[in-house]
Amino acid sequence: MYTIEICHLYPEILNLYGDKGNITALRKRCEWRGINVNVRNVSLGDEFYPDEYDIVFIGGGQDYEQEIVKDDLLYKKGPAIKDAIENNKVFLAICGGYQLLGKYYKTKDGKELEFLGALDFWTNGEQKRMIGNIVMECDFLKSDTFDGKIVGFENHSGKTYLGKGIAPLGKVIVGYGNNGEDGYEGAVYKNVYCSYLHGSLLPKNPALTDFLLEKALNNKYKGFGTISNLDDSYELAARNSIINRLITSNKMNKLRKIF
């Protein structure tokens, strides 16, 4: 019997737009396959022991919530989190949690807040918010049976820029992404996957959920191989309907601007 251990960091503080749904998706897609799941909440003042976990999840939060967790993240848990990242633990970080793993956040009034610096990227706060549904294409998810498209919802004023050795999670088809300028969304480093997508991200995108689970299982159980398939006909029908609607609407908006 296989078991996945999940760490949910700061669950009562970083849970914007129902990001806890990502934990639910990971749990249910394991249980449907007969894989045991244990989820442990780790918050302010708690010790973080990376060897005890297979997946670490950090949800989203606004500036206020980031300020609350920042010192605990940097000075209490920071070294262990960096070690876990370098040792190929699987991380999923959303929005504010994504930003906290970077080098710094520069506020709208020019104040620079030091963040964890586990990954080489940084974020600049802006007046205008980037809000709306988003579709992106992830090359690492493409296969003969899957188009690699991911759908979600973004709402952020921070513009994130990727540095050396950091790949984007995907290429934006509809929406803003990291900064509304370079056409990319999210960040990938080793087994760390960062994104601005709420909604929640994983329930809307079972292929990404299974990708993360498969990564974690192969890390823990050498030679685990490929995760078994589930009947995702309802999930995929909902996903495809949203993606087709958003892409069609985006094309119509572009045509209106031309004419």
Catalytic site residues? 95, 198
Q: Are strands 112-114 and 149-162 parallel, antiparallel or unpaired?
A: unpaired
Q: Tokens 């009562």 sit at which residue?
A: 12
C-alpha span between 97 and 113 (Å, rounded)? 14
* Spatial distance between the Cα atoms of 133 and 122, rounded to a whole number of angstroms: 23
Question: By the 8 A CB rule, do 39 and 30 touch?
Answer: no
Name the E strands within the chain: 3-9, 36-42, 55-58, 90-94, 104-106, 112-114, 121-137, 149-162, 170-174, 184-185, 187-189, 192-195
190 with 174: CB under 8 angstroms?
Answer: no
